[in-house]
Amino acid sequence: MATGLMMMWWLMKNPPNNYPLAWNNSYEQKGQQWRGHFDLARYEVNLNLTGNVLELGSGDGNTASQILNKASNITCLDVASSSFQTMPIKDMSVGKIVGDARSLPLKDQYYSTIICRHVLTHARQGDENLVLQEISRALAPGGTALFEVFTPNDMRYGKGQEIELDTFLRGDDLIWRFYNEDELKDLIEKAGLKIQKIEVLARTVRHDGVEHQRESLVVVASSVQ
């Protein structure tokens, strides 16, 4: 189907405010799904884990689970209520909130650390600005956010129908968006955050004897207030 028609068809099925809710089906059908290890320890020197910590778009709580012993006040927030049914974190002290990153049901200037891995990856053009502005609002003065997104060099690029630039709709109604470094830096800075560190994580994986490239960008950025 032509890209324009595809976009119209998808918008009819998914009014602009609702498309992230496709994640509910994803967790209902697949259960836990994010098992890859992310080396958060590598960035801990930049993060204040002794304050209020938010994992935004927590999914399986894959990242929060790495810091359960280090952070005393962790909240996981995800748009998919079903993600909390399959999340393995049973620690009652971890807060669990169903909410949309584009309009966070959270106080201003409250979190010392916000971890936001692969949430911008699933935001339509324009919505990434809303997510970034909300993160900027919720960060405490001097607080730090960590982002991860995929780049166009990642093996996932191009799967599905391209509905917006570098943004693909898959058969399960989830969208996947890919960012280049300059674009991401620009978006983060426009939201009023100061970039402390930016890294490309690249590696090759083998599936059925074939090599595939994985590539993501990790950005650590702080509130400038």
Ligand X SMILES: C[S@@+](CC[C@H](N)C(=O)[O-])C[C@H]1O[C@@H](n2cnc3c(N)ncnc32)[C@H](O)[C@@H]1O
Judged by beta carbon, residue 30 or residue 194, the one nearer ligand X is 30
What does the CA dihedral 26, 28, 31, 35 come to, rounded to 10 degrees? 20
Task: For the CB of residue 87, give the shortest distance to ligand X in the complex, in Å.
Answer: 10
List 40, 43, 47, 59, residue binding ligand X (CB under 6 A): 59
Q: Which stretch binds ligand X (CB under 6 A): 51-59, 135-143, 153-161, 203-211?
A: 51-59
Helix axis angle, 181-190 relative to 127-138, nearest 10°? 50
- Residue 187 sits at φ, ψ, to 5 deg, of -65, -40
**Residue 94 CB, nearest approach to ligand X (Å):** 14
Q: Is 80 in the site for ligand X (CB under 6 A)?
A: yes
Residues 46 and 218 sit within 8 Å (Cβ to Cβ): no
CA–CA gap between residue 168 and residue 188 (Å, rounded)? 22
The answer to whether 60 and 37 are in contact (CB under 8 A) is: no
Nearer to ligand X, 83 or 113 (CB): 83
Q: Is 124 in the site for ligand X (CB under 6 A)?
A: no
Which spans of this chain sit near ligand X (rule: CB under 6 A)?
20, 23, 34, 57-60, 62-63, 78-80, 83, 100-102, 117-119, 122
